[in-house]
Every structure is written in structure tokens, then in C-alpha cells.
Amino acid sequence: MSSIPFPVQSFSVERRQFGDAFWRSLLYFNAYRLAAALVLLAAAITLGDDVPFGSNSRHVYLYTDVGYILFSLLAFAAILPRRPYFTVQLTVHICADILFLTVLMHASGGISSGLGLLLLVSLAAVGLISRGRLTLFFAALATIAVLAEQTYQVVFLAGSTAQYAQAGLLSIGFFATGWLAHSLAKRAVAIEAIVAQREIDLANLAQVNQLVIQDMQDGVLVVDERGVIRQINSRAEAILGPLRRSNREVLLQDYAPTLDARLGQWRRDPSSGFDPLRTVQTYKPTAARFVQAGISRNVGVVIFLEDLTRVQQQAQQLKLASLGRLTANIAHEIRNPLSAINHATELLLEDSAMRSPSHARMLQIIHDNTQRLDRMVQDVLKLNRRDRAVREHFDLGDYLATFVAEFCEIEKVPTDTIRVEEAIEATISFDRSHLNQIMWNLCRNALRYCQKKSGSIVVSVQPGPRQGTVELNVIDDGMGIAESLRAHLFEPFFTTASSGTGLGLYIAREICEANAATLDYVERPVGAQFSLVCKGVSA
């Protein structure tokens, strides 16, 4: 096992302990030192005898002040690259302050010059910068330096012993400043630890909130007072359509104008009720609920979106679960008398005694309705087999060519009635028999309502809305579907045709879900369009 050399390890520990804030504070402190040294030099040069600076030895004062300035400049060269270590530089800085200021004080007449007060600023600054480390030690060094200078004044320069009292008071100030800086630094460290912990807690809480919002079954949008979308989860994008993010702010009015109009109405009258709205891009029935995010409805709003198709599907599943249990028990019993009635009707139709138009008409009505009931029973029985999907990979273009030929032959329509448009060559993963059942239902509906001209039905293949998907569209040139009926298209037993069972589109969508695909109605200016999005297979 390799080991890290000690100097590298100690440097990494140093960097973890003393971050940018420490070095920035040391830089500001050195800038103050340089400014103070320049002010002392300028005062001595310009004011001369009006100030006591350099009163004992002007040359010593000037040389020491210039050295103090040069030291400050050299300190910048060490602080900016952050070498050597922070603790080493800080110790050198405070020792240099004590040395230079003591010499300047000595050259200016001793304790009476007042320069010793500058040491209080240095001790306070060092205590705060170092978070209280060795502050009292530096205060002791400053005290020794001031008392030594006063002793030198008394012994060698016939100084007054009465100034020992001032030196003692100044020394007490050193220790008081050091202790105060130490206490404030400890409190600052404790507050920083609490703030750092709260920052971590808030970051974790924000991450948890983000995960919760993204995993919600309902769509969530956060809109500010200017109508700008500040946050949106994936479920909201699935309901309203993908949000085209750009460098500029996205307005709710541009993204979902219908929802923005509902928001404006809610702000004017929050007690007003709303009918389910239809989204422009996905055309899904959606319930919107608005909750103010501030003290006023005009500040910010959280919008909750619920896709009602999911609720409707759940209700349909409950309905059909009960229906399935019922029909599974009686379907065969129903088909037996139906077969008997149908057979008897066919025999009566062949009987010459029943040749009158009225009798034939009534018998034909009985025959048609027994056939309809039989188809309904067959469709209901198919519901129990919708999840038995056996997916296979096959070329969609080849399948459509075969399907169109068979459909036109069986339905007795010209082959040019259906036009196939392939924007891409696609291979899909789907149960072939299921796709055949879906396409047969969609094309038969399109044939019923189209104008039955050349190209009245268009089957198009194009890339899907998501990567790795293929979109298969069946479009007709008929009158389209009334807006009042669109919400009920995929409901079981809903039909506008007198001979229909109302289970075709519902079973088609159920089969799509069994094959991990989707089937939706797409609004268009002319005619009707049904879009099937399924999984593609990359070559």
C-alpha cells in the first residue's frame, strides 16, 4: 500500500481547514496594514514637528516605516499564491506588526506617542481571522514588546517610570482585546457550523422536495407574479406537452394559453368553478387547481394539474371488472339462445310462407340484432384476452402494404382509397394480430365517415414524439368528430352508429396499452386523425 508524503498530506489538511474566507480576510488585513504604513509615512513627512512621529529618531522612524511598507507589499506576493501555509503567514504578519509598531513607537518617544494603540487593531484582526487561535499568545508577545520598549526608555534614555502605568493599561487592553476576539471568534465558528448544517439540511430538503414533485402523479407548475414558469415537473409536461426551454423566460401565456386564462379568472374570483380544460398540444381533459404561494394571489401561484383520462380509465376499469365477471359467466349462455334465434330466423326467411314484405322486414330486423348482440358478446370476451400480447419485430411498411390490400379486398373498396405515406422506414415491436385488429377498427371507422374518394384515408408513418418511438396515423377527410363527443371516444359502449357496439376504440386502446403503446385522437381542421405511438426497433 502506497503512502502519501507528509508535506502533501499536511497541505491538504491546511486547505480543508482554511478556505477562501480565511485568505480573503488575511488579504484585507494586509491591505489595511499597507494603508496604515503609508498614512504614518505621509504624516511624518508632511506634518513634521506637528506630530510626535519620529521625535526621538526621525531616521529610524522613516527607515522602519519604509520597511513596514515593503513588508506589506511582499506579503501580497505570498498571500495571492497562498504559499506558505496560512498559519505560518498569519504568525509572521502579527509578529511583524508587533516588531515594526514597537520600533516606530520607540522612535516616536515611547508609549506617549500613541502608536501602541495600533497593536490593538492588529490583535483584534488576527483574533477574528484565526478564529481565536493563539490570540492570547500574540497579546502576550505585544505586552512583552511594549514593556521591553518602556524599560529601554527608562534604563538607557532616562524615560519616566510613571509611563509604566500607561504601558500596563495598554497591556491590559491587549489581553482584553485578545480575549474578546477569541470569544467572538468562537461564537462566529459556532454560528458558521450551524449555518453550514442548515445549508446542508436545506439542500437535502430541496432535493427531497424536487424528487417528490417530480414523482407526483399530478402535474405541478410554479408561476410567479409576472406569469413566468419557475418550475414544472415531468408529469405536467406529459399533460401540457413538452416545454421548449431557452435562454429567455417562458411565459405561461405562451406555453398554455387556456391554463393562463383560467389562472386570470381564478385571481379575479377564486370561488368560481371550472370545467375540465383541454390542452392544446395533447388534448387531454385536465382539472386545474390553483394555490397561492404567497400572501396574495397576485404574488405567485402553484398550479396542480390532474389528468382526468387516468381517473376515467380507473373508473372504466372498475366498471369493466364488474362487467367482465358478469359476462364471463353468462356469455356462453347468451350465445347459445342467440345462435338458436339467428338460425330460426334464417329458416323463416327461407320459408315461402313468410315471403310477404312485412314479415321479411321483421325477420331481417331480428337477424340483424342477433348478429349485433353476437358481436357485442364476442367483443366483451376479447376484453379478457387483451393482455395476452406476443410481441414480435416486423417491418411496418411491409405490414401496411399487406394490410391495405386485404382491407380493400374484403371491404370492396378501390385500392386507391387508402394512401400510405412513409416518412421513415420503421421496424416496430408489436403483436401482429393486435395491430391488425387496431388498424382494422380505425380504417373501418375512417371508411364509414370519409368521402370515399381516392386518398380519402391516409395512413402515415413518421418518427414518434419520443426517441425510439414510431407514430402511426390514420387520417380521413370526413366531417371530423364533434367537440362534445371527443371526451367519450374511448369509453366502452359509446357509439354514434346504430349498428356499432361501442367497444371498438376502447378495445383498441386497451390492446395498445398491452403492447406498451398509446392511442389518442388528434384534433385537425378537416377530418379525423387517430395517432398510435409504439416502440420502434433500431436497426
pLDDT at 430: 92
Greater confidence (536 vs 324) lies with 536
Q: Is the peptide bond before 84 cis (omega within 30 degrees of 0)?
A: yes
Spatial CB neighbours of 130, under 8 Å, sequence gap ≥ 6: 87, 90, 185
Q: How confident is the model at residue 6 (pLDDT cuts 50, 70, 90)?
A: very low
Instruction: Say how far apart CA 350 and CA 341 lie, in whole Å.
Output: 14
Say what the pLDDT of residue 382 is. 62
Say yes or no to pLDDT of 262 above 50. Answer: yes
Are residues 288 and 262 in contact, defined by beta-carbon separation less than 8 angstroms? yes
* C-beta separation of 213 from 281 below 8 A: no
Q: How far apart are the first and last CA of the chain?
A: 49
- Paired with 300 in beta bridges are 224
**Integer Cα distance of 113 and 149 in angstroms:** 13
Is the pLDDT at 261 greater than 50, yes or no?
A: yes
C-alpha cell at 75: 506579503
Tens-place pLDDT, residues 410-419: 888 998 999 9
Give 116's pLDDT tier (boundaries 50, 70, 90). confident
pLDDT at position 266: 85
Cα(280)–Cα(200) distance, integer angstroms: 41
226-230, 272-276, 441-445, 463-467: which has the minimum mean pLDDT? 272-276
C-alpha to C-alpha distances, 495 to 239, 247, 277, 317, 406, nearest whole angstrom: 26, 48, 23, 19, 26
Burial track 397-435 (b if 16+ CB lie within 10 A, e otherwise): eebbeebbeebbeeeebeeebbeeeeeeebebbbbeebb
**Cβ(99)–Cβ(145) below 8 Å:** yes
* Residue 219 pLDDT: 84
Would you state the pLDDT for residue 218?
82
When pLDDT is averaged across residues 390-416 and rounded to a whole number, the result is 90
CA–chain centroid gap for 407, Å, is 48
pLDDT band of 5, cuts 50, 70, 90: very low
Q: Is 358 exposed, middle or buried (0-12, 13-18, 19+ CB in 10 A)?
A: exposed
Nine cell digits for residue 361: 322486414
Strand partners, 232: 221
SS3 109: coil
Question: Mean of the per-residue pLDDT values for the chain?
Answer: 81
pLDDT score recorded for residue 525: 85
CA distance linking residue 59 with residue 104, whole number of Å = 11
Question: How much is the pLDDT for 460?
Answer: 93
Q: How far apart are CA 248 and CA 499, in angstroms?
A: 54
Confidence (pLDDT) at 387: 54
- The whole-number pLDDT of residue 380 equals 63
- Give the residue, 329 or 444, on which the prediction is more confident: 444
Taking only the tens place, the pLDDT of each residue in 272-322 is: 766 677 665 556 678 888 888 766 656 688 888 887 776 766 776 676 667
Instruction: Map residue 536 onto helix, strand or coil.
Output: strand
178 — phi, psi (to 5°)? -60, -45
* 3-class SS shares of the chain: helix, strand, coil, % to 5: 60, 15, 25
Cell 373501418 maps to which residue? Answer: 444
Report the DSSP pairing between strands 427-430 and 469-476: unpaired
For residue 531, what pLDDT is reported? 93
Nearest Cα residue to 38 out of 70, 78, 74, 76:
70
130: three-class secondary structure by DSSP: coil
Q: What is the pLDDT of residues 30-82, one digit of tens each?
A: 999 999 999 998 888 887 777 778 888 888 999 999 999 999 999 999 888 88
Per-residue pLDDT band at 13 (split at 50, 70, 90):
very low
**How high is the pLDDT of residue 8?**
41
Structure confidence at residue 330 as a pLDDT band (50, 70, 90): low
- The pLDDT score that the predictor gives to residue 331 is 66
Three cell numbers written together for 346 = 334464417
- Number of continuous H segments (helices) and E segments (strands) in the chain: 16, 12
Quote the cell numbers at residue 68.
Answer: 513596514
Q: What are phi and psi of 242, to 5 degrees?
A: -60, 140
Strands 418-422 and 457-463: parallel
Alpha-carbon distance 327 to 381, whole Å?
A: 8
CA 303/CA 232 separation, integer angstroms = 10
Query: According to the model, what pLDDT value does residue 286 have?
Result: 81
Contact 147, 166 (CB under 8 A): no
Q: What burial class does residue 331 get, using C-beta atoms within 10 Å of its C-beta: 0-12 exposed, 13-18 middle, 19+ buried?
A: middle
Q: Are strands 469-476 and 219-224 parallel, antiparallel or unpaired?
A: unpaired
Could you tell me which of 207, 40, 218, 190 has the C-alpha nearest to residue 113? 40
| pTM over cut 0.85 | no
Q: Helices in 353-395 by DSSP H: which ranges?
A: 357-383
What are the CA-CA distances from residue 532 to residues 439, 463, 477, 511, 535 (Å)? 10, 11, 18, 11, 10
